[in-house]
Each structure stands twice: as structure tokens, then as C-alpha cells.
Structure 1
Amino acid sequence: MGGSQSKETTLEYNKPWRDTPWGLQEDLEKKIKEFKLSVQNIEHVRIMVIGEVGAGKTSFINSVNSVFQKRITNEALVNKTTDISTTFTKWLKTYYIRNAQSFLPFVLTDTMGLESEDLHGVHTEDIVKAMEGHIKERYKFNQTCTIVPQDVGYRSDPSPQDKTYCLVYIMAADKISMMTDNVLKKIKYIKNKANELEIPQVIIMTRPDEACPLVQKDLRKIYTSKKIKEKLKECSELTGISMSYALPLKNYHDKIDTQNDIDVLILRAITQILHLANDALRMKFNENTNSE
């Protein structure tokens, strides 16, 4: 007994290294519902979600929707087979998150997953074109070649709402160390292109309970766990994205009801992402106004 407690103590900090408003999910949700974008006539900011196959990209989108619907949703279909070596998502699809009879001021764009092989999964250039707003809704990604202006799914003159204002990388805590060099190469290429487009970027680290026994027992240990901090640091070092923009959370992939603590982590993440996207939106419009 004592040995077990001592072992757990070595896995945990004496106090959380990030403050978390446990129990205040209603306040967090209210602020997002009342959030006003800084540019008039823009109904939403687009947040693009990318990640390696099996990292929980589509589950994250469903989890965000579940928080606001107060029930487990599956609007974005998830691959539930045992074969997760290839991507399930084939199309570019936008998800609007409903707030009663209206919609929240952000949308989530799902993309084809990143794979190790060069001719499998989404092409990095297609991700760049999608960030720029050049790929139309429901375009089916072609694994053998990238989109060109002559393709039916190509949008020549994207509107402000077609463009991406925050890029979210989904990384699974228990699989970070197994990421191949080729996937990392693709992520770094996309990151550099997003930097050129001045798009802020965030890491969402999923499956924390699979990487840390403390978190598996109690989700509130997520910011006292040394293992989770170590994994977040690893995400940051691999991608070059600051630890300040690396956020761990648990998706609703194995639950039948929503839970307050899971909601809090998701809502905190969406709050930070929404603020970053809004800042990028304001900067883009200020640049356009000043250049006219």
C-alpha cells in the first residue's frame, strides 16, 4: 500500500502547474455562446483540424459538438474498426456547432488524415490550399495528386469566411513517440506554410488517460501529472509550437453521457482557440483596410 502511494507521488507534482476552473463549465460555455467576433458581417471564424490517422481528429469535433448539445453526438463519422492505419475521412467537411436555434461564432473543418506514406492520406499542399480557402465543401481528396485550379472542387476567389484563422493539430498522448519521420515532416511543412499565412496554431493532445495511470483514475490529475507535462513538452518540441498552445483533453470516444470535467477541458481549449482565431481575423481585416 505504502509503496504504491509512494510510486504515485513520484508521478505527480505537489500542485497543478496550470489552473483549471473545475466545476465552472456553465460559465465557460456561456462566454463562448456570447462571444462576439471583432469584425462585423463575419458570422464565424474557420478552425481547421488536422492530425495523424487515429489521433482523434474527428472524435474531437464530435466532442466539441457534444459539449454544447449536452449529449454524445456523432455528426462527424468516426472509424470504429480495428484498422486505423489508413484515414477514414475522405472529404473536406465543415461542422457548424449549434447554440439553440443559432450557431456559435466558429466552425470546425475536418480533413483527411496524415499518413506515413507519400501517396496515402491527405497531401500537404491540399491542406495549404484548404487553409487559403481554395477547396470547396465536400471536395473528395485525391491521394494520388493535389488539387489544381481546373478541378471542380477548386475555389478561385475565396471569401474571408472560407479562409482558416486557426490551425489545430490533434496528437494522441500515447502515440506521440511512435510518430514516423515522414508524418513529422508533413506536420512541419504545414506549420511553416501556416506561419507564412499568419495563421495561429494549437496542439490538442488527446488520450491523456491512455498515457498516464493517474489521469485514467482521475481526470483532474491532468495538470498535476508529470507524464502529461512530459508528453505536452514532447508535442511542443516535435512541432515547434509553444507549450502555451499545447492543451490536453479527453474526447468523448467511450462515453454515453457528457461529463463536467471532460466538458471543462474541451471548453477551455475552444476558448483559447476562439480568441486566437479572432485575433487573426482582426489582424487580417486591419491589414486589408490599411492597404486600401
Structure 2
Amino acid sequence: MFPSLSRDKQSALQFVKNFKPHVEGQQIRILLHGPVGAGKSSFINSVQSVLHGRIYTQVLADNTSGSSFTKKYTTYKIPKEDPQSFYPFVFNDIMGLEPIKGVHVDDINLALKGRVMDGYRFNPESKMSEKDPFYNSSPADNDKVHVLVCVIPASTVSQMDDKTVQKIRDIRMEASALDIPQVAIVTKIDEICPEITDNLQNVYKVKYMKEKMEQFSAEVGIPMTSIFPVKNYHEEIDINSDIDSLILSALKHIITTGGDHVNFKKTQSECSGTWA
């Protein structure tokens, strides 16, 4: 039986609003990547909408273009009710993956390490160099990525070309080498079958949806426990409890995972210091 979305929403919303990393002054940096048109920018807007309790658009998104709408590396902070304070997690959107062009995998790898500064304009023709003015030669911990999130549309899971899948695998391997945890978000779930279109609460009941998630898990290696189906806000003019619940479920897992990563790194550093 599908859990009570209303109860789960309130519980998850309270968790997110109260979330605070154990390390003072730490912010959880969340990097979104995935194919063009997957809904990376829309997910950031959707998170903003859920936390503000109204439809909110901070990140420009375009669902009509066949090429990536995101051109620059930008950090998105989410203000709390008090406009002078922000949630302790930030999002970075990135140019979409394409078989031939799109963002360079090397640029994403540099972003994972905190080497890419805000304002860097992605160039499909060439990767970032150390001589670039937006290259960060001395990244602080807050500059580094703490959670890597792959965003993929449900309708294209079985249609991704081999080159795009390989790029996702390569990025995942780099993140794993850096001990950065990975999460996947499957978007546009309402577009794959009538049962979900009519009622989002059916998302975990529909066998076809589960098969899509399992297929993606097998292709890129992200476990099912770290793959979350969501519907982004797109045409809606008012917030919807079911949409909110799915977004909050994914967000809660993302920031918890990021917090665990920060704590793990801090423990490693303290141990190294003890034995130095």
C-alpha cells in the first residue's frame, strides 16, 4: 500500500527545514547532471516551490530546445522565510550531456573537485584549462561537490544512446574515486503511462515504472535505493501535495547523503591529523 503522502510530506518537509550539517558553516553542494531536457533546472525550481509553498522560478528552463539551455556554471542558494538566511545546501546546474557535444566530462570532473567557479561558460568545443580565469586552483571544502545527482527522464531511459550512457558511467566512476555519493532522479514520470498520469500515488505500484528504474540502475550502476521518481512543476499554477511528497522524498535522501559524506570526510581528516 502506498504510504500516506500527506503525512510523509509534512514529516519530510519538517526534516528539510530543520536540516543542519554537523560541521559549522558547512553547506551541502549538490551537482545535477544528465541529458539535455532531463529537467535539471526544473528540479531546482520545484524544490524552491515546495519549500516556499508556492510556484517559484529562480532558474530559467526551456523544454522546447533540442540543445542545452544551461550555459554557465551557477550556484543556486535557497532563501528561508527570513530573506537574510539560506538553507544549508546549494544546487549547481550544468550543461546537458549530449552524444557528440554538450558538456565535457572533464569539466564535470573538475566541478566535482571544486575547481570550477561560478560564471564559467561551458564550451562544447573545448574543456576547461588551468589557465581559465574561472579555474579555482585552491578550492575550499564548500566549493567541492558533496552529492552527485543524475537526472534522467523516465521516457528516455531505454532510448539513451551508448555514448551518453558511457559519459554517465565515466562521471560516476570519477565521483566514486572521490568518495562522492550518487543519487538518481527519474523525471517526467507522468508521461510514461496513464496510471501515473491520472494519479501520482500509483508511481510505486506500476510495474512498468519499476522496470524503467531497474533498467537505469543496471546500465549506470546506481542502486535502486538511491533512485527516486519525481514529477517537476511545469505547467501547474498551484502546488500539489503529491508532487511535493515525491520531490521531498528525493531531497531528504540527497541532503542526508550529503551530510553523511561531509561527516565521513571530517572523520577521515581528524584521524589523519591524529596519526600525522
Q: Which sections of structure 1, spanning at least 5 residues, go unmatched?
A: 1-14
Q: Percent identity, aligned pairs only? A: 39
Tell me which residue corresponds to 1:31: 15
Q: Distance in 2 between matches of 1:237 and 1:212?
A: 22
Q: Which protein has the larger Cα radius of gyration, Structure 1 or Structure 2?
A: 1
Count of equivalent residues: 270
| Aligned residues of 2:37 and 2:63 also touching (Cα < 8 A) | no
Matches within 5 A, 1:47-58: 47-58=30-41
Matches within 5 A, 1:239-258: 239-258=220-239
- TM-score w.r.t. the length of structure 2 is 0.95
Paired residue secondary structure (1:175):
helix
Question: Deviations for 1:40-98, whole angstroms, at most 9, x for unmatched residues?
Answer: 231x11010001001111111111111111121221101143x32x1110011111112
Q: Distance in 1 between matches of 2:216 and 2:61?
A: 24
Paired residue secondary structure (1:27):
helix
Q: Distance in 1 between matches of 2:183 and 2:12?
A: 19
Q: CA deviation at 1:178?
A: 1.1
- TM-score w.r.t. the length of structure 1 is 0.90
Paired residue secondary structure (2:123):
coil
One-letter code aligned to 1:243: M
Moved over 6 A (4+): none
Q: Distance in 2 between matches of 1:194 and 1:149?
A: 20
Residue 276 in structure 1 maps to residue 269 in structure 2: no
One-letter code aligned to 1:111: I
Q: CA deviation at 1:26?
A: 2.6
| Aligned residues of 1:52 and 1:183 also touching (Cα < 8 A) | yes
Q: CA deviation at 1:269?
A: 0.6
| Aligned residues of 1:68 and 1:98 also touching (Cα < 8 A) | no
Structure 1 pair 168/133, CA: closer, same or farther in 2 (3 Å)? Answer: same
Question: Deviations for 1:229-271, whole angstroms, at most 9, x for unmatched residues?
Answer: 1111011011111001011010001211111110011111110
Q: CA deviation at 1:122?
A: 0.4
Residue 121 in structure 1 maps to residue 102 in structure 2: yes
Tell me which residue corresponds to 1:40: 24
Tell me which residue corresponds to 1:191: 172
| Aligned residues of 1:48 and 1:164 also touching (Cα < 8 A) | yes
Q: Distance in 1 between matches of 2:21 and 2:249?
A: 18
